[in-house]
């Protein structure tokens, strides 16, 4: 296990790369999903206003 973290002294560089990449690839989809949810809510509000005006 120790070996896997240290990777012959290159651990910081390799894990520094992989962790930042993994972070980006976790945050980006979450942000996109959040944007979609927000848009859905917005559309819901617009639809509610429309139906209220209709009545």
Partner 1 sequence: MRLFTFAAPSRFYGLSGALLPWLWASALLLASAGLYVGFVLAPTDATQGEAYRIIYIHVPAAWMSMVLYLAMAGWAAVGWAWNVRLASMLARAIAPTGALFAFIALWTGALWGKPTWGTWWVWDARLTSQLILLFLYLGFMALVEAIDDPKRSDQAGALLAVIGAINVPIIYFSVRWWNTLHQGASVSMTAAPKMASIMLTAMMVMTFAFWAYAFAVVFTRTRAIILEREQDADWVRTLVREEAVDA
Footprint on residues 36-55 left by partner 1 (CB under 8 A): 36, 38-40, 42-44, 46-47, 50
One DSSP character per residue, 3-34 reads HHHHGGGTHHHHHHHHHHHHHHHHHHHHHHHH
- Residue 14 near residue 7, CB atoms below 8 Å: yes
Q: Is 29 in the site for partner 1 (CB under 8 A)?
A: yes
Q: Is 25 in the site for partner 1 (CB under 8 A)?
A: yes
Which of 1, 2, 8, 53 binds partner 1 (CB under 8 A)? It is 8
Q: Is 5 in the site for partner 1 (CB under 8 A)?
A: no
């Amino acid at each position: 296990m120790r070996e896997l973290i240290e990777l012959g002294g290159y651990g910081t560089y390799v894990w520094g790369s992989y962790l930042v990449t993994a972070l980006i690839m976790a945050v980006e989809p979450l942000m996109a999903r959040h944007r979609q949810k927000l848009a859905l809510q917005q559309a819901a509000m617009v639809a509610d206003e429309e139906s209220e005006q209709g009545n």
